[in-house]
């Protein structure tokens, strides 16, 4: 592990936080009702994962490209996932911003707003050989994806998703 500022981590976090900041003012109707029922254990895992991923993504240089090498495909895959994540947000912000819009799949990926960035974190961790970021990504994934799968299930009970 090489300590130092990671530009890849910064770009990843900007791609993550900008649409989430906008979302706080454009939540789907009924979201707050679902959020009240979040299991405490999943919420704790989600929050811990968010803090750990945010910190670890920035403090290790391992996440930055080291030149042309086969491992670079992992970083490229993470970038593709984050571009899909931005497409998910564009689709959501241009929609009627309903729970159905928020929890609809993207290219077959369920709860893409939760799944895509977690998968990208895991790919960045593999690229950087960063076991700490990998563990933080798993913690985040269990909490974040778990919460949003529950929300999606509640939204499905209201109005079936396609």
Residue 159's pLDDT is: 57
Integer CA distances (angstroms), 39 to 15, 47, 69, 93, 154, in order: 27, 12, 42, 27, 14
Q: Can you tell me the distance from the alpha carbon of 144 to that of 14, in angstroms, rounded to the nearest whole number? A: 18
Q: What is the mean pLDDT of the chain?
A: 92
- 126, pLDDT greater than 90: yes
Residue 127 near residue 75, CB atoms below 8 Å: yes
Over residues 149-162, the mean pLDDT reads: 74
Over residues 70-78, the mean pLDDT reads: 94
Residue 157's pLDDT is: 73
């Amino acid at each position: 592990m090489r300590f130092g500022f990671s530009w890849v981590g910064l770009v990843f976090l900007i791609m993550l936080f900008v649409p989430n900041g906008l979302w706080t003012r454009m939540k789907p109707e009924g979201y707050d009702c679902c959020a009240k029922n979040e299991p405490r254990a999943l919420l704790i895992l989600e929050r811990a994962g968010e803090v750990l991923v945010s910190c670890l993504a920035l403090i290790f240089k391992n996440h930055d490209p080291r030149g042309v090498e086969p491992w670079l495909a992992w970083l490229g895959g993470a970038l593709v996932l984050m571009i899909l994540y931005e497409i998910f947000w564009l689709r959501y912000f241009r929609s009627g911003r309903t729970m159905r819009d928020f929890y609809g799949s993207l290219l077959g990926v369920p709860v893409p707003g939760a799944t895509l960035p977690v998968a990208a974190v895991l790919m960045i961790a593999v690229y950087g050989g960063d076991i700490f970021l990998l563990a933080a990504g798993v913690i985040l994934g269990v909490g974040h994806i778990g919460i949003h799968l529950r929300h999606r299930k509640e939204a499905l009970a209201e109005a079936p998703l396609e």
